[in-house]
A and B are shown apart, each in its own frame.
Chain A
């Protein structure tokens, strides 16, 4: 189940050491799903709830309490004093408590391991799904333009600062769409983007901005492809968001002027 305010309520209750009853299982299931938000929150809220206890002023223990407590810890602690009258029941209880603790700790470690494993599997699946979705979107995009009856194509060559860049533009005047496929584009600083221009009657018209992937490739669909007839294309480097007219260096162009 996705993270919700209700989970935060339960996390707060758990951090405070409140009895949770059946809701505890619900929260544990949610944590086992690997909700990083709740896990971090639980640690922070435990710390916050410790402030409640730390705000209490200390008491002055009766002087004899120190000796009594230290003596009860075992014969090696005797320091001349005999151990407390009947240490055995305490010992048995304590041993049982330690055993129980060990069992719980082991169980907890197992749950953590399972959770880690599930988390990594789920991350792996998510990344594969994303790759598939991207591929599918690209295919749909290409198909929409490439399968138009009036599809046209132009090669763009790199120039200026990026002679190695290259691209193709496919466009369909009827579908009013164009697709740019580019490769070997240089990475840009975060405040810059590539902008595609369509030349109509010798004048550049903005056809949208795009970012290449980490390997310098870009697949960009221009949704507001200018009409009527594109004569040439160019790509420039512009401030992020694009400019109404080209201001930066031309890195790709169809028919060099």
Chain B
């Protein structure tokens, strides 16, 4: 048992060395530089350590899984800062199987390349769609909140989010591992 635990901890240390910077970057993008982003990183690794038994690395990409956890925790803290915030149930996000992604993302150099591919795909989106997606993803806004922020009709915002994500999917499709994953 102790050996298993020790092995998990070693695995986690190497996980931190590989992905810590990237996850911290995401938390800081959402929360700004400072102690809170680092606290999120700590929570995420604690979560990963506790939940490692329920996670099968063969089933999906660890980085994507950790990124979803980082994003949802950061957004929770961001919402808690806002006066009219309400708690968000994050069950579905975390319970869901992590999406498939190329295995070679695991390698640090490939990770850099992956970042470039993702950045290019995002930057090619039409401006208003990209803005809507970023407000949803990095600021945790609802459709209505995005509509208020961008002074756009609610229906338009819903369409932008849907079309933007569909387009992003098309752009990322060539790099996707086997697509639907048989789901």
Contact = CB atoms under 8 A, between A and B. Distances in A.
Nearest to B28: A59
A50 B86 CA distance: 24
Contacts of B140: 17-19
B161 A13 contact: yes
Given A52-B134, A52-B137, A45 B165 contact: yes
A51 interface: yes
Interface stretch (A93-101, A119-127, A173-181, A214-222): A93-101
B165 A16 contact: yes
A73 B99 contact: no
Nearest to A77: B9
A47 B46 contact: no
A17 B47 contact: no
A17 B93 contact: yes
A228 B95 CA distance: 71
Nearest to B165: A12
Contacts of A12: 161-162, 165-166
A73 B12 contact: yes
Nearest to B86: A19
A180 to B, nearest CB: 43
B50 A94 contact: yes
A52 B42 CA distance: 22
Nearest to B163: A12
Contact of A52 (B63, B93, B133, B159): B133
Contacts of B41: 61, 65, 69
A153 B10 CA distance: 84
Interface stretch (A36-44, A135-143, A202-210, A242-250): A36-44
Interface in B39-71: 41-42, 45-47, 49-51, 54, 63-64, 67-68, 70-71
Nearest to A68: B42
Decide if the interface of chain B is mainly helix, strand, loop or mixed: helix
Contacts of A66: 13, 16-17, 20
B21 A58 contact: yes
A69 B101 CA distance: 27
B119 A17 contact: no
B142 to A, nearest CB: 5
A76 B10 CA distance: 11
B95 A104 contact: yes
Contact of B50 (A18, A57, A62, A98): A98
B169 A48 contact: yes
B78 interface: no
A60 B23 CA distance: 10
A67 to B, nearest CB: 10
B134 A69 contact: no
A45 B96 CA distance: 13
B104 interface: no
A229 interface: no
Contacts of A62: 38
A44 B173 CA distance: 9
Contacts of A14: 92
A95 B51 CA distance: 10
A49 B168 contact: yes
Contacts of A21: 142
Nearest to A84: B42
Contacts of A95: 50
B121 to A, nearest CB: 6
14 contacts: A9-B158, A12-B161, A12-B166, A18-B140, A18-B142, A45-B169, A49-B137, A61-B24, A68-B42, A69-B46, A70-B13, A70-B16, A73-B12, A94-B47
> 7 closest pairs, A vs B, by CB?
A58-B21, A47-B99, A48-B169, A55-B118, A59-B25, A55-B119, A54-B118
